[in-house]
Chains A and B, each alone.
Chain A
Amino acid sequence: MALMIAVSLPPLAALLCWIKPFRSVAWGITVVCLAGSFAAGIVVAAHILSNGIEVGIPNWFEADGLSGLVILLASFVCTLAALFAGGYMHHASEQSGRLWWFYCNYNLLTFALIVVPAFASPNLVWVGVELITLFAILLVGFESTPTALEAAWKYAILTLMGAPISLLGFFTLYWAYHLAGGAHLETWRGLYASAATMSPNLLKFSFLLVFVGFGAKAGLAPMHTWLPDAHSQAPTPICAVLSGIKTSVPLYAILRLLSIVLASPEARIGNWMVVIGLVSVGIAAFLLLQVRDYKRMFAYSTVEHMGIILTAAGFATHGGSSGAVAQLLNHSITKSLCFYAAGVVLISLGTRQIKEVRGLFRLSPFAGSALLLCSLAIAGAPPFPIFLSEFSILSAGLRSGHNAAVIVLAILIVIAFIAIFLQVNRMLFGNPEPASTSAFVPPSCRVAILIAALPVVVLGVYIPGPVHSLMMLASQQLGGH
């Protein structure tokens, strides 16, 4: 029941935002409905902790530990981004007459993000992931400037091209499942159960196609090129959703399928995933050194983190799986905070260029401290959760004998760390240019940043019991031996 409420509140909000008399209060409707969806997500997680699974409609809507975690993250990030959007869009958007349309589309995007982990059937997961892409396209181009539309177009072509490829992958998966004598309705659970008896060749072919199609959406190199463009042009709350959770959800589908393929004894592809993950981390680390736009900087950092998660899952051990799940969680909460901070800087100074931002601490202590906190957290400095998950991934790699991969990964993480710090350092300190005066931060943005910073600070030093057990349950779904 709670699962169905979590899934159905966002489309309800979209409908309300679309009805004319409610258009002026679209923001309020969005925040209230999405917060309700998040509350329902917490209930879902509680049910999963006690029963192991939450069933909405049997064989159609089901959530296990991994799904529960992703639903929780999606509703959390989307709720806070909506809260942030209230102040941000009012001040920064030139399309204030169409804001109801923005919120309507935003709610549909949230719906797609929550429904993908809730679907029990892989074919519907494909539909959901395509819906995410489609709803995000028009939001990326919302400002309707030539560059915003260019970014939206690049994003559309690169990610939609993956759609038919991954569709054939899901058809092949269905075929393999049926040849192995699977039940009529294909569900993730059924696939896990018959993974060992499915044809390894078909499984590998299907995984390859889905990986190519969904990898583009998750921002894995070399299909990542849409990501920095979209992130520099989209309204900042959309960036927070795109980076924080929109890349994680296709990756969730890839990880699900990967665990099924890894469960098949003959299909060994773990090491390939390690290599592909490392390529993403490497490309991102070096692009971080030469980036000139701070929103693009955080976008490249997303490519880096997606690569790290894939590498961890490729280790195919319990340690690797739990590291990947922890990184997924920490990336979502930290990266959305990064974009809120970036958005506040953009509102105060009106520029996206790193070199044009000087002395941020003096101009706006609030924006400065938010940026410092989130950069420390996203780069993986010690007291923050990303440090813990990256450390556990490195140690899991050593335990499973991937020594070379661990060394390369550690070096690349350090390069990315230094790169982010060089860039942020330039923005935070020094003397501000005399011309830049306004440093106003809208109250809803302040509140969103304070709430978003809470888990980032707390989870680094203390992981509450229920969160820990949910992460353990989720990493069991990812398998590993």
Chain B
Amino acid sequence: MASPQTQLIEGLNALTAGLILLTAFGMVATRQVQGVMRFFIVQSVFLAASAFLIGFNRGSIHLVALGVITIGAKAIAIPLVLKRTLPGDLYERREIDQAINIPSSLLLALFLAIAAEFLVGPLVAVSADPVVHVNLPIGLAGILIGAYTLIARREAIPQLVGILAMENGAFFAGVAIAPDLPLIAELAIAIDVILIAVVIGVLTRDITRTVGTTEAATMSELKEEPQLWR
């Protein structure tokens, strides 16, 4: 039988899992670019919290370091990078056009979360660790819901945040199933995530300058049909 302290930490970890799922739903339901970004930052903080909790439980300095890296990269560096590369009006108070309306989207997201639970059901059976049973399904749900927002949203920044939220989902599963990953690998992955934000930010800026809009839906000139080149 696990000690009361371990049980408490596992309970708290389950709570952060729920909160991460909730922030994922929040991203689906938010209409404003700024709001989506805020949900992402909050989600990253919960991800770090889960890393701290599991790290404390297993006495692993590693996971604590990962939590610090996560906060540094996702809650501080990425919002700063985006604010610097993008023109202000693109980033602030802007309504997002969505392919499917919000109530249906939430329903779909709920369905994805349930599907994730059943998908990994046979897999988590190999481990007796309760943390794995919580983190892997929720992490996969995070990935699926992130992918959904990426497909449904037609604005550049919410699409980027969709990719980053998917990354959060992968990491949330990762802190439970791959806790001893070498620190260099973790650092490299974090730098990679920041680079994603930089590259997409620069690309978005270029697109705003030349095309004048960042609605991905308006960019549909390239396809396999007869067309005129200059």
Q: How long is the Cα–Cα vector from A88 to B120 in the complex, in angstroms?
A: 51
- Measured as residues with beta carbon below 8 angstroms from the partner, the interface class of chain B is 35 or more
Q: Which of A163, A164, A185 has the most CB of B within 10 A?
A: A164
**B192 proximal to A (CB < 8 A):** yes
Q: How long is the Cα–Cα vector from A174 to B120 in the complex, in angstroms?
A: 16
* Interchain CB contact under 8 A, B167 and A163: yes
Given contacts A137-B203, A171-B177, A174-B178, contact A126 B123 (CB under 8 A): no
Residue of B nearest to A205 (CB): B123
Given contacts A134-B195, A157-B150, contact A174 B177 (CB under 8 A): yes
Given contacts A123-B185, A205-B123, contact A146 B178 (CB under 8 A): no
Which among B126, B170, B207 is the interface contact of A201 at CB below 8 angstroms? Answer: B126
Q: How long is the Cα–Cα vector from A163 to B163 in the complex, in angstroms?
A: 8
* Interchain CB contact under 8 A, A151 and B222: yes
The segment out of A228-236, A412-420, A442-450 that lies at the interface is A228-236
Given contacts A147-B222, A165-B143, A205-B123, contact A160 B206 (CB under 8 A): no
* Interchain CB contact under 8 A, B166 and A175: no
* Chain B nearest Cβ from A346, distance in angstroms: 11
* Interchain CB contact under 8 A, A146 and B177: no
Q: How long is the Cα–Cα vector from A475 to B222 in the complex, in angstroms?
A: 38
* Interchain CB contact under 8 A, A161 and B163: yes
* Chain A nearest Cβ from B148, distance in angstroms: 11
Q: Which of A97-132 contact B (CB under 8 A)?
A: 121, 123-124, 126-127, 130-131
Residue of B nearest to A129 (CB): B192
Q: How long is the Cα–Cα vector from A326 to B156 in the complex, in angstroms?
A: 41
* Interchain CB contact under 8 A, B216 and A149: no
* Chain B nearest Cβ from A375, distance in angstroms: 20
**B103 proximal to A (CB < 8 A):** no
Q: Which residues of A contact B220 (CB under 8 A)?
A: 150
* Interchain CB contact under 8 A, A127 and B188: yes
Q: Which residues of B contact A149 (CB under 8 A)?
A: 203, 206-207, 210-211, 219
Q: Which of A165-216 contact B (CB under 8 A)?
A: 165, 167-168, 171-172, 174-175, 178-179, 184-185, 199, 201-202, 205
Q: Which residues of A contact B126 (CB under 8 A)?
A: 179, 199, 201-202
Given contacts A126-B189, A127-B189, A163-B163, contact A202 B123 (CB under 8 A): yes
Q: Which residues of B contact A137 (CB under 8 A)?
A: 199, 203
Q: Which residues of B contact A123 (CB under 8 A)?
A: 181-182, 185, 189
* Chain A nearest Cβ from B90, distance in angstroms: 15
* Interchain CB contact under 8 A, B180 and A152: no
The segment out of A272-280, A287-295, A334-342 that lies at the interface is A287-295
Q: Which of B125-182 contact A (CB under 8 A)?
A: 126-127, 139-140, 143, 146-147, 150, 156, 159, 163, 166-167, 169-171, 173-174, 177-178, 180-182
* Chain B nearest Cβ from A357, distance in angstroms: 12
* Interchain CB contact under 8 A, B221 and A157: no
* Interchain CB contact under 8 A, A179 and B202: no
Q: How long is the Cα–Cα vector from A232 to B221 in the complex, in angstroms?
A: 12
Given contacts A174-B181, A352-B229, contact A229 B222 (CB under 8 A): yes
Q: Which residues of A contact B178 (CB under 8 A)?
A: 171, 174-175, 178
Q: How long is the Cα–Cα vector from A145 to B211 in the complex, in angstroms?
A: 9
* Interchain CB contact under 8 A, B224 and A290: yes
**A156 proximal to B (CB < 8 A):** yes
**A353 proximal to B (CB < 8 A):** yes
Interface of B: prevailing SS: helix
* Interchain CB contact under 8 A, B203 and A165: no
Residue of B nearest to A169 (CB): B170
* Interchain CB contact under 8 A, B177 and A138: no
**A431 proximal to B (CB < 8 A):** no
* Chain B nearest Cβ from A293, distance in angstroms: 8
Q: How long is the Cα–Cα vector from A470 to B195 in the complex, in angstroms?
A: 35
Q: Which residues of A contact B177 (CB under 8 A)?
A: 171-172, 174-175
**B88 proximal to A (CB < 8 A):** no
Which among B181, B210, B222, B226 is the interface contact of A233 at CB below 8 angstroms? Answer: B222
**B81 proximal to A (CB < 8 A):** no
Given contacts A164-B166, A171-B178, A172-B177, contact A127 B203 (CB under 8 A): no
Beyond A127-B192, A138-B203: 19 further Cβ-contacts under 8 Å?
A127-B189, A130-B196, A138-B199, A149-B206, A150-B211, A150-B220, A156-B203, A161-B163, A164-B143, A164-B167, A165-B143, A168-B140, A168-B170, A171-B181, A174-B177, A178-B178, A179-B127, A201-B126, A351-B229
A-B contact pairs, 6 of them (CB 8 A): A160-B163, A161-B166, A163-B196, A199-B126, A201-B122, A287-B224
Query: Which residue numbers of B lie inside 8 Å of A, CB to CB?
Result: 120, 122-123, 126-127, 139-140, 143, 146-147, 150, 156, 159, 163, 166-167, 169-171, 173-174, 177-178, 180-182, 184-185, 188-189, 192, 195-196, 199-200, 202-203, 206-207, 210-211, 216, 219-222, 224, 226, 229
Query: Which residue numbers of A lie inside 8 Å of B, CB to CB?
Result: 121, 123-124, 126-127, 130-131, 134, 137-138, 141, 144-147, 149-154, 156-157, 160-161, 163-165, 167-168, 171-172, 174-175, 178-179, 184-185, 199, 201-202, 205, 228-229, 232-233, 287, 290-293, 296, 351-353
